[in-house]
Amino acid sequence: MSVWNRTLKQLPSRLLKLVVVTAVALICMIPFWYMIVLSLAKQQDTFTVLLVPKSLQWSNYIVAWQKANFTVLFRNSFAVTLNALVLTILISSLAAYAFARLNFRGRNLIFNILLLGIMIPGQTVLIPLFLTMKQLGLLDTLYALILAYTAFGMISTTFILTSFFRTVPQELLDQAKIDGCSHLNIYARIMMPLARPAIATVGIFLFLGNWNELILALTLIQNDLRKTVPLGLITFVGQYKIEYGQLAAALAWATIPVLIVYIALQKEFIKGLTAGALKY
């Protein structure tokens, strides 16, 4: 079959694919477009506007920023997200190395028990968690969130990193041991550098999860000055009369940082996934 004929034959299916994909893409994007249109609308227009902007009231963004106090919100969210992320990766990678390449009694058992942790829903542990934080004197501090997020993120991170570390050839490690490296050295000098794509992957997952988390923040944080972005959004809704234009602008503000991070790290992310983070 000639190339031309083949292409022609594929045209209907290619077209179909394109149509399907475009339709889905539209459904994905329209809500965001709606959000932007709403965020630029004047108060009275918010009741009638659909997909065509009726006004371009950029001031909504300024008012929303100030009312919701995004400066504080972003600062807190960044602090919590990044610190938890680093801490999670640190302790998870240490554990992952042990699970993947070290041999000690009870290793498999402990590993399997950690797995059960995924099934525990957040609300189950809300009150005890709250009381624990209180006993530690950490209530209403960002530390509480950092520790909590670390705990809830470490399980899946440990698993991803464990399975990744298992793909590192044993010969490399044997060579290092012969060369006299301690386990800590192996971990720091061999495993971690190799794991960069996997770490990028878990980094994105953790960033997303931590940045967008709501219920724990809701429970553990009471002070206005320590709110994270999602919490600030929810309280913004109740704080003032709902002016939909400003609310939409606030939603837009909340979304921008994750978008930026994603676009920046996107390549790393895909690389990490394909490089065997999900190897079976």
Partner 1 sequence: MSVNRSIRISRRSFLSGTLLAFAGTALAACAPAAQPTVQPTAATAAPTAAAATAPTAAPTTAVEPTAATESTASAAGSTSLSPDALKAAKGKQKVVWWSWTPQKNDSIMKVLPGITRMYPDLEIDLERRNIEWGQYPQMVKTALAAGNAPDIIDIYEAAVSTMDLAAGGQLVDLAPYLEMDTEWKKGLLPSALKSDSWNGGSHYFTLPLSVNNVMVWYNKSLFEKAGVQVPTTLDELKAAAKALRAQKIQPLVFGVSDQWQAGDMFLTLAAQIAGDKLRAADMRQAKWTDDSLVATMKAFKDLLDSGILADGISGISSTDAGNLYMAEKAAMMLNGSWALSGLDQWPAGLFDHTGVFLFPKVKEGATPVAVGDYSQNGGLWVNSKALAPALAMYRFLSLDKEAQAIWLPLGEIPVIPWDTSTVKDPVMKAFVDAQPNAFTRMIYDSQANAALLAGIQGLCEGKVTPEEVMDTTEKSARQGELPFLKD
Partner 2 sequence: MRVSDSHNLSSQTTGPVQADARRKQKYDNIGYLFILPVVVFFCLFFIYPLGYTIRLSFYEWTGFSNDMTFVGLRNLHDVFSNWVFWTAAKNTILYAIVQTSLQTALGLILALVLDSRLLGREMFKVLFFTPVLVSIAVVSLLWGRIFEPNFGLLNGLLTKIGLGVLARPWLGDSQVALFAVISVSVWQGFGYSMVLFLAGLQNVLEDLKEAAKIDGASDLGVIWHITLPLLRPVIALVATLTLIGALKVFEIIYVMTSGGPNHATETISSLLYYEAFRFNHMGIASAIAVVLLIGTMAMSILQRRVMERESEI
Residues 169-198 that bind partner 1 (CB under 8 A): none
Does 33 engage in binding with partner 1 (CB under 8 A)?
no
Q: Which does 143 bind (CB under 5 to 8 A by kind): partner 2, partner 1, none?
A: none
Does 140 engage in binding with partner 1 (CB under 8 A)?
yes
Q: Which does 243 bind (CB under 5 to 8 A by kind): partner 1, partner 2, none?
A: partner 1
Side-chain-side CA neighbours of 87 within 13 Å: the count stands at 17
Q: Which does 200 bind (CB under 5 to 8 A by kind): partner 2, partner 1, none?
A: none
Q: Which amino acid is at 82?
A: L
Stretch that binds partner 1, among 19-27, 50-58, 135-143, 203-211 (CB under 8 A): 135-143
Quick check: 122 and 215 in contact, CB under 8 A?
yes
Q: How many CB atoms lie within 10 A of CB 64?
A: 24
Which residue from 1, 3, 4, 47 is in contact with partner 1, where contact means CB under 8 A? 47
Which residue from 59, 124, 239, 266 is in contact with partner 1, where contact means CB under 8 A? 239
Q: Whose Cβ is closer to partner 2: residue 38's or residue 139's?
A: 38
Q: Whose Cβ is closer to partner 1: residue 25's or residue 127's?
A: 127
Which residue from 104, 180, 238, 263 is in contact with partner 1, where contact means CB under 8 A? 238
**CA distances for 76 relative to 63, 140, 227, 229, 230, angstroms:** 20, 12, 7, 8, 11
Q: Annotate 24-63 with DSSP letters as a single string.
A: HHHHHHHHHHHHHHHHTS-GGGGGT--SS-----THHHHH
Does 121 engage in binding with partner 1 (CB under 8 A)?
no
**CA distances for 111 relative to 95, 104, 186, 235, angstroms:** 10, 12, 21, 39
Quick check: 232 and 73 in contact, CB under 8 A?
yes
Interface ranges with partner 1 (CB under 8 A)? 43-44, 47, 108-109, 112-113, 115-116, 126-128, 130-131, 133-135, 139-140, 218-219, 222, 224, 234-235, 237-243, 280
